[in-house]
Amino acid sequence: MNKHIFSFFFGMVFLSVTTTQAQDNQNWKAIFSLINEEVLTHSKAYSSLHDATSTIGHRLTGSPNGQKAEQFAYDLLKSYGFSDVRFQPFEVESWSRKSIAVEIGGSKKHLVSVKSVSLAHSPVKADITAEIIDLGNGLESDYIADAGKVNNKIALVNLGILPGSPATAKNLHRSEKTALAIKYGAKGIIMVNTPDHGVLLTGTASVTGKLIPIPAICIGKEDGLDLKKALTAGKQYAHISMTNFSGKINARNVIATLPGKTIPDEKIVIGGHLDSWDLATGAIDNGIGSFAVLDMARTVKALNLEPKRTLEFVMFMGEEEGLLGSKAYVREAISNNSIDKVRFMLNYDMTNDPKGYAALTDDCKALFQSIGTLAQSIDTSFKNSFQSGADLHSDHQPFMLMGIPTGGAGGGSLPNNSGICYHADCDDFSLVDEKGMQNTVRFNTMLLYGLADTDTIAAKRLDDAATKELLLKSNLKTPLQIAGEWRWKD
Delimit the domains of the chain by residue range: 37-84+259-482, 96-245
Q: Give the model's confidence band at 146: pLDDT under 50 very low, under 70 low, under 90 confident, else very high.
A: confident
Q: Give the model's confidence band at 221: pLDDT under 50 very low, under 70 low, under 90 confident, else very high.
A: very high
Q: How many residues does the chain have?
A: 490
Closest CA to 445 of 340, 342, 354, 365: 354
Give CA angle at 421 (236, 415), nearest 5°: 150
**Mean pLDDT along residues 377-398:** 98
- Whether 12 shows a pLDDT value over 90: the answer reads no
Does domain 37-84+259-482 fall under CATH 3.40.630.10? My reply is yes
pLDDT of residue 23: 63
- Which pTM was predicted? 0.90
Q: Give the model's confidence band at 1: pLDDT under 50 very low, under 70 low, under 90 confident, else very high.
A: very low
List residues bridging with 273 in a β-sheet.
316
Exposed, middle or buried, 231 (CB in 10 Å: 0-12/13-18/19+)?
middle
Tell me whether strands 85-107 and 237-258 are parallel, antiparallel or unpaired.
antiparallel
Exposed, middle or buried, 211 (CB in 10 Å: 0-12/13-18/19+)?
middle
pLDDT of residue 306: 97
Contact between 118 and 216 (Cβ < 8 Å): yes
pLDDT of residue 21: 57
Least confident stretch, 4-18, 332-346, 363-377, 466-480: 4-18
Start-to-end CA span in the chain (Å): 44
> Collapsing DSSP states into helix, strand and coil, what is residue 138?
coil
Q: For 96-245, CATH number? A: 3.50.30.30
Closest CA to 406 of 323, 332, 489, 336: 323
* Alpha helices in 163-287, H assignment, sequence order: 174-183, 221-233
Q: Give the model's confidence band at 7: pLDDT under 50 very low, under 70 low, under 90 confident, else very high.
A: very low
- Whether 6 shows a pLDDT value over 50: the answer reads no
C-alpha to C-alpha distance for 269 and 315, rounded to whole angstroms? 10
- Whether 158 shows a pLDDT value over 70: the answer reads yes
> Collapsing DSSP states into helix, strand and coil, what is residue 434?
helix
**Mean pLDDT along residues 323-348:** 97
- Whether 321 shows a pLDDT value over 70: the answer reads yes
DSSP element (H, E) containing 93: strand 85-107
